Structure 1
Amino acid sequence: MSDDRESVPVRQLRLVVEAEDYEAALAFYRDALGLPEQAAFSNEGDARVVILDVGRATLEIANPAHKRYIDEVEVGRQVAPKIRVAFEVDDAQSTTGRLVAAGAEQVAPPTLTPWQSLNARLDAPAGLHITVFQETLTEDERRSLNGFGTETGSSAES
């Protein structure tokens, strides 16, 4: 991505999630996962929102066949709803353990994928199905893998 922010038509991806148990979701995502609080707002009637910084955001578009493939590789069966949130972490094993201790349900343990990332699946607070993933190769190393590329160049990775 270019450092020239003037050429970028979208400045930020913000995923807004309604959490029935706001306090539990906040404790999970801010405290257990470690997402820093960027801002918080409150209004009348106990209306509250917190914006957590997740670093760089991407939007991954997968066709149904690839979504099924990812589920099969990471979990061994179809489990993900249409929307799954993925967080890149430094240590998938310890993060998974910490998140399970904080209330997530482990769907699949950290599993090495064909694209050489270590991915775990969890059902997390606020009704989100999440992946925590750890890259084991650099982006340049992944580019040499079969199936990794871009839609305009070669097979796309997910």
Structure 2
Amino acid sequence: MTDAATPPVLQLRVVVEAADYEAAVAFYRDALGLPEYLAFAEGGDDRVVILDVGRATLEIGNPVHKRAVDRVEAAGAESPHIRLAFEVVDAEGVTRRLEGAGARVVAEPVVTPWQSLNSRLDAPAGLQITLFQELLESGERAVLDGFATDDERD
């Protein structure tokens, strides 16, 4: 148990190796619009940029859930073991913008049973991403069938 005033983890940082660093930065920072938080270079070709994505969560699903999401979100197209999901205000518009910036659309925006508008794209640095736009407030979603915490299921 941890002290509520001192959370055990302060930040989630996903670290990605990008063979085409410039293209990846242009896509995630410039096209997707993630603000640059920090950048480092130790000389030579060494470069890294840390982009601010706002609030981070870690979503852990079992294989059955992963297949269900793939079925709903991408017409069954299988996603990789790790996929990044970005909440956006306009899933349709951002999908088009990122497609224009070089992403390949795997699945067009679709309304999901959990009431979000989701699209799936293959993006630079070998990442598959989901864009999602929440269509209901969290309190409205919480009363829908299938929504419960693990504690509530026990």
Short-chain TM bin: over 0.9
Aligned residue type for 2:130: T
- Match status 1:115 vs 2:114: yes
Deviations 1:81-120 (A, max 9, x none): 1000000000000000000000000000000000000000
In 2, are the aligned partners of 1:147 and 1:154 still within 8 Å (CA)?
A: no
- How big is the shift at 1:73? 0.4
Aligned residue number for residue 31 of structure 1: 30
Q: TM-score, normalised by structure 1?
A: 0.93
The DSSP-based 3-state class of the residue aligned with 1:109 is strand
- Match status 1:66 vs 2:39: no
Between the aligned partners of 2:34 and 2:128, the Cα distance in structure 1 is: 17
Matching of residues 1-158 of structure 1 within 5 Å: 6-154=5-153
The list of structure 1 runs, each at least 4 consecutive aligned residues, that deviate by more than 6 angstroms after superposition, is: none
**May I ask how many residue pairs the two structures share in their alignment?**
152
Q: Report % sequence identity.
A: 64
- How big is the shift at 1:46? 1.0
The DSSP-based 3-state class of the residue aligned with 1:133 is strand
Ranges in structure 2 where 5+ consecutive residues have no aligned partner = none
Aligned residue type for 1:11: L
Between the aligned partners of 2:4 and 2:84, the Cα distance in structure 1 is: 25
Q: TM-score, normalised by structure 2?
A: 0.95
- How big is the shift at 1:7? 3.1
Between the aligned partners of 1:89 and 1:10, the Cα distance in structure 2 is: 24
Ranges in structure 1 where 5+ consecutive residues have no aligned partner = none
